[in-house]
Chain A
Amino acid sequence: MRSQDEAQFVSLLKENQNIIHKICKLYTTDQDSHNDLFQEITIQLWKAYPNFRGDSKFTTWAYRVGLNTAITLFRKKKKTIDTIEFDNTFHKVKEDEYNFEEEEQLKLLYHAVNELNDIEKALVFLYLEDKDYTEIAETLGISEVNARVKMNRVKGKLKKIVNP
């Protein structure tokens, strides 16, 4: 029988599942790994759910559990190749909006992000999600100043990969 907690958790997760999908997109390069990581994050969220008191937002909580799972607990089944699949389902661009140059640049950018290490990817992810440096530092367990310094280095690294 499904408990009330289970039902509540499933509903919250269903509503906020895009957070997990976005983490999976950044840390995996194929659909199977994406699904595996999605499942592992869901399991970890459920295991940690008794500690979720509702005084923080479910999304804030999910960011932390999701990233920690991707960085620490998830076992990649196989070594992924160094090219990111430019996911067309993720880029449903209307024909009149189609811009070849822009798409090429985005392809390069996603490829560049894929070249980053796990921690740099976490920084990029939190930045893309509009998190401030206080939250980025707190999530990763580093100081705010060092989070800023590292982010600038990552930006430089991306620039270098995109414009060699």
Chain B
Amino acid sequence: MDELEILKQDWKKNENSFKQVGEKEIYNMIHKSSTSVVKWILIISILEFVILNGISFLISDKEIENFERLHPYIGIIEKVNYVVILGFIYLFYKNYKSICILSSSKKLIKDILQTRKTVNYYIYWNLIIGCFTGAIAFFDGFTESHQIENNKEIALTQIESILIFCIGFALVFAFIYGFYKLLYGFLMRRLQKNYNELSKIDF
């Protein structure tokens, strides 16, 4: 007999032997909140928005004023950033609402992966903004310490300036990229694996 047929016989024989869950327990369950992957993506993105923007309140106004005086375009970038991040949060929410558990498994995973795509664009955007402002801050910090050390006006060559900017950019990029890889990697790995498997079957 086929292996699956042997298994089926046992499966049928024992299908009523599970410990039954009572009505009260089911009532309690439906009032608990879900731990679904999609929900976590939404929660994490909102938390990121709150935390990332909350940090700016911790930095003293004087420092921000100094930074903005040195780099007047930062204020504009900051405002654009707020609008873009709000747009991303709207997209996350829209994706979250459009995901339907009654779709076929393949469509459901595809819709969830669309959320991932939005997450990826969100990561790229944060990387660009984070690296840009981070590199400028790194550059400022370096020239400041250079000034103090030599007690004279800075006299960096153009090549030195570019090099410092690039190092700053690379360091911040590596930090933010690593952070997001860790954060979203564990949420998405299994979904991607299952989607690949379904796509492979239909290839």
Q: Which residues of A contact B (CB under 8 A)?
A: 2, 6, 9-11, 13-14, 17-18, 21-22, 25, 36, 38-40, 42-44, 46-48, 51, 61, 64-65, 67-69, 71-76, 89-92, 105-106, 109-110, 112-113, 117-120, 122, 124, 127-128, 138-143, 146-147, 149-150, 155, 158-159, 162
Q: With an 8 A cutoff between CB atoms, is B136 at the interface?
A: no
Shortest Cβ gap from A34 to chain B (Å): 9
In the complex, the answer to whether B102 meets A65 with C-beta atoms within 8 Å is yes
Asked if A72 meets B194 with Cβ closer than 8 Å, knowing A10-B23, A46-B30, A109-B7, the reply is: yes
In the complex, the answer to whether A128 meets B3 with C-beta atoms within 8 Å is no
Q: Which residues of B contact A (CB under 8 A)?
A: 2-4, 6-8, 10-11, 14-23, 26-27, 29-30, 32-38, 40, 100-109, 112, 187, 190-191, 193-194, 197-198, 201-202
In the complex, the answer to whether B30 meets A71 with C-beta atoms within 8 Å is no
State in angstroms the CA–CA spacing of A149 and B30 once bound together: 38
In the complex, the answer to whether A128 meets B35 with C-beta atoms within 8 Å is no
State in angstroms the CA–CA spacing of A17 and B40 once bound together: 27
Residue in contact with A39 in the complex, picked from B22, B23, B29, CB distance below 8 Å: B29
Counted as pairs of residues, one from A and one from B, with CB atoms less than 8 Å apart, the total is 166
Residues of A within 8 A of B187 (CB): 75
Residue in contact with B202 in the complex, picked from A105, A128, A143, A159, CB distance below 8 Å: A143
In the complex, the answer to whether A158 meets B23 with C-beta atoms within 8 Å is no
In the complex, the answer to whether A73 meets B36 with C-beta atoms within 8 Å is yes
Shortest Cβ gap from B100 to chain A (Å): 8
In the complex, the answer to whether B104 meets A139 with C-beta atoms within 8 Å is yes
In the complex, the answer to whether A42 meets B102 with C-beta atoms within 8 Å is no
In the complex, the answer to whether B30 meets A141 with C-beta atoms within 8 Å is no
